[in-house]
Every structure is written in structure tokens, then in C-alpha cells.
Amino acid sequence: MFYFEKIKGKKVLKSSILEGLNHFFTTRESIIKTKDSDYEKLAQDNRGLFCEYFGIEKGKLIYPSQTHTSNVDVAQIDKSAYPDTDGLILTNKEQAVFLNFADCTPLIFYDGKIAAVSHAGWRGTAGMIGVKTVEKMVDEFSSDIKNIKCAIGPAISFCCYNVGEEVLSQLIATVKDSSGLYEIRNGEIFVDLKNINKRQLVEFGLKEENIDICPYCTVCNNDLFFSYRKENGTTNRHSAVIKL
């Protein structure tokens, strides 16, 4: 279940499925990533507040350079640059990791010991970045897939996400069972990106009860979150943040 909380007076969104993990999804008021000069001071101030909350230096709050890939890396102490990376696994307690979103689907994973964040836009979803993140956790860090929990955060939802036939074909090719994941409305194709990610993960071996899907749509709930589509290419982002 998703619920709102305040950290240092700023509204954030959390999931009860990730109990034990220090995590949150930022909102408009708790923004930490932007290229918009009107929001830059707020974002800088919020980064400072969250570093203080985590008890880390500002340089320890890191994020990769997201380019809609399905590349997953591992955060390393004293390393801050992760080019062409859309998934980052955290295994140390010295850093906090965040990835940034404005319609794409955020995925946070936690197995009780290590955690990860992945960025699943349609390209990342077509590249099965969620599955690749879990696979890396299992193969390189001996995570037990039965213990991995996943929170699928605020993103453009089934109600609002229309795509072309080529995108649809790439998305449904990633699952054995595509029933209920798309529909045609007035000649337009709508897809459920959150549930496509969930279906991929369940088919790979995650327990269905270990996956929590956020009910908020970034387009419909644009008062809370940023939307690239609704806001004509905004550079403001909400973020998925983790700290062990």
C-alpha cells in the first residue's frame, strides 16, 4: 500500500511493501532534480534536507545518467558518474541513490539486504530492465528471488498512456500473457506500463504478493507529480530514492 508522509516538512510517497528500506518517491514540493531555473533553488534546498535526513554528505546522494536503456550498474563508494545507466543497485550504507521520472515507471527493489532503483519507460520496459535488475541482484549478490519486494511507483497510467502499434508490439513481446495489458479506445491503443512491468516480474519468478503498484497517474495527478506529456516536455522530475 502506498501512503504519503513528510520528511523535513516535505511530502513524499512511500510503499509499505518496502518496510525496512529507507525509501521514498518525491512529489512536486520535494523535487530534487530539475533543469528549470524556477525550481532549481527548491531542488537544491531539498537535496540538502534529504542528505541531512540520511546523515550523508551531498556528494553521497548519487544518480546515473539515464538514457532510456536497459543497462543496470552497481553503486560504488567514491564513484558518482554512471553514464547510460537506467538501473542502479545499492549494496553499501554510505550512499543514497535516486533516479528521475516524469511519466516513466519507477521500480524500487529490496530483498532485506540490498536495494535497487530502475527507470522503466516504454523502451526500458521493452528491454525488460526490471527483470534485468532482479537478475543482477540474484546472480551477483545471491538475492533470493522469493524475498525480493518491488514497489512500482507513480507513472503515466493505463487511463492516459496511448502508444503506436510498433511500441505495443515491442511491449507485449516481453510477456507470455498480455491479456488485460492493453486495449483499443476510439481507434487509439492504450497500454498499462505499470502492469506490464509487474507481469514481466511475476513471469520471471517474483511473488505477486511482493509487488505493490502505485495508484497515482502522473497525468491525472499532475498536482502531485510531474508529467512530461501533460506539461509539454517539462524538465522537472520526481525521483525514486533509496538508502540502506
What confidence tier does 117 reach under pLDDT thresholds 50, 70, 90? very high
* Contacting residues for 194 by C-beta, under 8 A, at least 6 apart: 105, 152, 155, 157, 158, 213, 214
In a domain, 220, yes or no: yes
Q: Which of 224, 208, 101 is nearest to 153 (CA)?
A: 101
Measuring CA to CA, which residue among 71, 38, 72, 75 is closest to residue 59? Answer: 75
Residue whose grid cell is 543497485: 89
- The chain-wide mean pLDDT, for the chain, equals 97
Checking if the pLDDT of 23 tops 90, the result is: yes
> Does a structural domain hold residue 236?
yes
User: Dihedral, CA atoms, 50, 212, 93, 84, nearest 10 degrees?
Assistant: -80
Residue 63 belongs to domain with CATH number = 3.60.140.10
Q: Please check whether residue 110 lies inside any domain of the structure.
A: yes
Q: How many domains does the chain have?
A: 1
Tens digit of each residue's pLDDT (9 = 90 or more) over 167-177: 999 999 999 99
Domain range enclosing 23? 2-155+209-243
Instruction: Express each pLDDT in 122-151 by its tens digit.
Output: 999 999 999 999 999 999 999 999 999 999
Tell me the DSSP string of 45-106: HHHHHHHHHHT--GGGEE-----S---EEE--TT----TT-SEEEE--SS-EEEEEESSSEE
Q: Residue 184: is its pLDDT beyond 90?
A: yes
Q: Is residue 168 part of a domain?
A: no
177, part of any domain: no
C-alpha cell recorded at residue 194: 505499470
Let me know if residue 71 belongs to a domain: yes
- Residue 170 covered by a domain: no
pLDDT at 78 over 90: no
C-alpha cell at 136: 543482477
Using a pLDDT cut of 70, give the percent of the chain over it: 100
Within a domain: 164: no
Residue that is written with C-alpha cell 543482477 in the block: 136
| Confidence at 183, pLDDT banded by 50, 70, 90 | very high
pLDDT score for 199: 98
